[in-house]
Amino acid sequence: MRVGLLQGTLDLLVLRVLIPGAMHGYAISRRLADLSEGWLSVDEGSLYPCLYRMEKKGWIRSGAGRSENNRKARFYSLTDAGMAQLEVEQQGWLQFQRVVVRILKRA
Amino acid sequence: MNRAIDALNEWMQLRARLRDEYQFHLDRATADFRALGLSRRTAKRAAAGRFGSRRNLKHALRELGGDWPGLIRLFSAHRVHASPWFQPIVLVMASLFVLLLSPAPLAVIEGAVGQPLGVADRRAVFISDQARNLSYVGIKKADFESIRALDSLTELERYQSIHARAHARKGISIRAIEFQIRNRTGNPRLRAIPLFERESIVMGPAKAVWGFIGFCSLFFFATSQSSFRWIEYGLAAGCLHSLASLLMWAVVIQRWSRVAWSSDGTALLGFLALSALYLGVVALQCQVWRIGLHRRCPCCLEPLLLPLTEGSADCILMNSATTESVCAQGHGVLVETRWSSQFRPQRSPLQGLVRG
């Protein structure tokens, strides 16, 4: 069963995926799909507005480059502000997860 | 204005950038599917399916800052979509109004000379002295003789013994003739009145509006990768809005031209005042469209409903009032803060503005 992405979690996932290094949009979406092993249902098209929004917020930066098959592509990488934001979002998510698990166990 | 241009510029850059990214993404996805053994067509379809719905993209783009350009693109659609009879009816009504208000320039002259004009008169220029009570009292013999030598007039002759009638040379405007006869005679009250048909509705601004809307329609069509639905709606709405403006302008000009102004100065002031009125009405119209669109869902174009106000109208710094409206289909949410120009905590978002 595939599950939809919770509102606001795409930012967190993208920021996390970008830690190893710069990637283009397609690589990010593939990486997300691989890591979730097909469980997350994400419209790949919604990734790009999200990337643009994060770039405007200064969390990531983009630059032109060449893909593996030598096509022009835009590569995204994490900034210091993005790193800090990732930390904040990660903490928030873990806290949320703990609360949900606690409720499920005790209710 | 600069903000608007910057917003449009940014919007265009965003569109261009996303278009490139989408293309790259779809090409890569198609290539991957083909590597799995799918045919080209199937691979393309699979890539598009995984990419997601265009509707979601549109929504996401609007969220990103497609504010007013996005709204302009939608504005043509939502009116036609909401009421299929509204546009044709207004178009027909506007056409009828323009026809009914079509000018009768000869009536003024016929009133001045006291009898209907003959066919032969209808290509001539009537020259007479306008008294302070605005009646045409004729032209003095000395003035008549002095304008004989004017190159811009041919076949100058007396008309009913007191007025003068002539033909204007091709390409000479009535204003130029009037200027010349006043200069030549030194009589500032002499008027040159055309007996031939002329455009008494000033078409320039209406044509400009038409051209602008047409240009915008084509511009947004060319840059929007949309279907024929857009061009159909865009043209219909463009016609409507141009005709509405034309109608308004026609009414204004008819009103202006039928009033006997005491001097050129007051006529100019009257013209300026009515032009300002016209521009004011157009601005108001634009504002209503903008607000109407602002309060419609970008996906289904249905009105946003169920306004919910939170916060306090008194505590504007710490807990300012915010109204949130939602789309009945669940597509969109509109949040308006107290600082928004359209903030109306006591009103439904659509009350009195647009018909649902």
Structure tokens at B32: 């991957």
Structure tokens at A87: 């930390």
Q: How many domains does chain A have?
A: 1
- pLDDT at B51 exceeding the cut of 70: yes
Q: What is the mean pLDDT of chain B?
A: 65
In a domain, B67, yes or no: no
**In this complex, do B56 and A43 lie within 8 Å of one another by their Cβ atoms?**
yes
- pLDDT at B201 exceeding the cut of 50: no
Candidate ranges A44-48, B214-218, B339-343; pick with highest mean pLDDT: A44-48
Contact A58/B at CB under 8 A: no
Is the same domain home to B164 and B38?
A: no
Higher pLDDT, B14 or B339: B14
| Shortest alpha-carbon distance between residue A36 and chain B (Å) | 15
- pLDDT at A76 exceeding the cut of 90: yes
Is the same domain home to B32 and B116?
A: no
Section B212-228 average pLDDT: 52
Is the same domain home to B184 and B110?
A: yes
Structure tokens at B209: 């509006």
d(CA B221, CA B92) in angstroms, rounded, equals 26
CA of B60: how far to CAs of B8, B14, B53, in Å? 17, 12, 11
**In this complex, do B64 and A45 lie within 8 Å of one another by their Cβ atoms?**
no
Q: What are the tens digits of pLDDT across the range B152-167?
A: 888 888 877 778 888 8
Contact A102/B at CB under 8 A: no
Domain residues for the domain of B27 are 1-52
Section B229-248 average pLDDT: 60
In a domain, B27, yes or no: yes
**What's the number of CA atoms in the CB half-sphere (13 Å) around residue A16?**
15
Contact A31/B at CB under 8 A: no
Position A79 confidence tier, pLDDT thresholds 50, 70, 90:
very high
Candidate ranges A2-11, A21-30, A36-45, B289-298; pick with highest mean pLDDT: A21-30
CATH code, domain with A80: 1.10.10.10
Domain residues for the domain of A94 are 3-106
Section A51-60 average pLDDT: 87
What is the model's pTM?
0.41
The predicted structure's pLDDT at residue B344? 47
**In this complex, do A26 and B29 lie within 8 Å of one another by their Cβ atoms?**
yes
**In this complex, do A49 and B63 lie within 8 Å of one another by their Cβ atoms?**
yes
* CB of B205 closer than 8 Å to CB of B282: no
Choose the closest CB to A46 out of B14, B31, B52: B52
**In this complex, do B18 and A29 lie within 8 Å of one another by their Cβ atoms?**
no
Is the same domain home to B183 and B309?
A: no
Contact A38/B at CB under 8 A: no
Section B231-240 average pLDDT: 56
DSSP three-state, residue B260: coil
The predicted structure's pLDDT at residue B332? 52
Section B44-63 average pLDDT: 66
Position A10 confidence tier, pLDDT thresholds 50, 70, 90:
confident
Higher pLDDT, B287 or B24: B24
Position B198 confidence tier, pLDDT thresholds 50, 70, 90:
very low
CA of A53: how far to CAs of A14, A70, A91, B322, in Å? 12, 27, 21, 23
**In this complex, do B25 and A26 lie within 8 Å of one another by their Cβ atoms?**
yes
In a domain, B63, yes or no: no
Is the same domain home to B163 and B210?
A: no
Choose the closest CB to B25 out of A44, A53, A72: A44
Phi (first) and psi of residue B286, to 5 degrees: -60, -40
Residue of chain B with shortest Cα separation from A27:
B25
Choose the closest CB to A26 out of B14, B24, B52: B24
The predicted structure's pLDDT at residue A16? 92
Is the same domain home to B35 and B172?
A: no
Rg (CA), chain A: 15
In a domain, B355, yes or no: no
Is the same domain home to B211 and B234?
A: yes
Q: What percent of chain B has pLDDT over 90?
A: 0
Is the same domain home to B140 and B216?
A: no
d(CA B232, CA B301) in angstroms, rounded, equals 17
Contact A26/B at CB under 8 A: yes
Write out chain B residues lying below 8 Å of A48, CB-based.
Answer: 18, 21-22, 25
Position B176 confidence tier, pLDDT thresholds 50, 70, 90:
confident
The predicted structure's pLDDT at residue A83? 92
d(CA B345, CA B322) in angstroms, rounded, equals 8
- pLDDT at B83 exceeding the cut of 50: no
One-letter identity of residue A62: S
In a domain, B69, yes or no: no
The predicted structure's pLDDT at residue B94? 62
In a domain, B40, yes or no: yes
Residue of chain A with shortest Cα separation from B62:
A49
Q: How many domains does chain B have?
A: 4
In a domain, B86, yes or no: yes
In a domain, B73, yes or no: no
Write out chain A residues lying below 8 Å of B61, CB-based.
Answer: 49
Is the same domain home to B7 and B33?
A: yes
**In this complex, do A52 and B56 lie within 8 Å of one another by their Cβ atoms?**
no
| Shortest alpha-carbon distance between residue A49 and chain B (Å) | 6
Section B32-42 average pLDDT: 86
Structure tokens at B114: 């006291």
Contact A8/B at CB under 8 A: no
Structure tokens at A90: 């990660």
d(CA B305, CA B50) in angstroms, rounded, equals 32
Which of B199, B40, B31, B226 lies closest to B105, judged by CA?
B199
- pLDDT at B61 exceeding the cut of 70: no
- Give me the helices (H) in A1-107, please: 9-17, 25-35, 47-57, 80-106
- pLDDT at A19 exceeding the cut of 70: yes
The predicted structure's pLDDT at residue B200? 46
**In this complex, do A43 and B17 lie within 8 Å of one another by their Cβ atoms?**
no
The end-to-end CA distance of chain B, in Å, is 31
Is the same domain home to B240 and B94?
A: yes
Structure tokens at B152: 């811009």
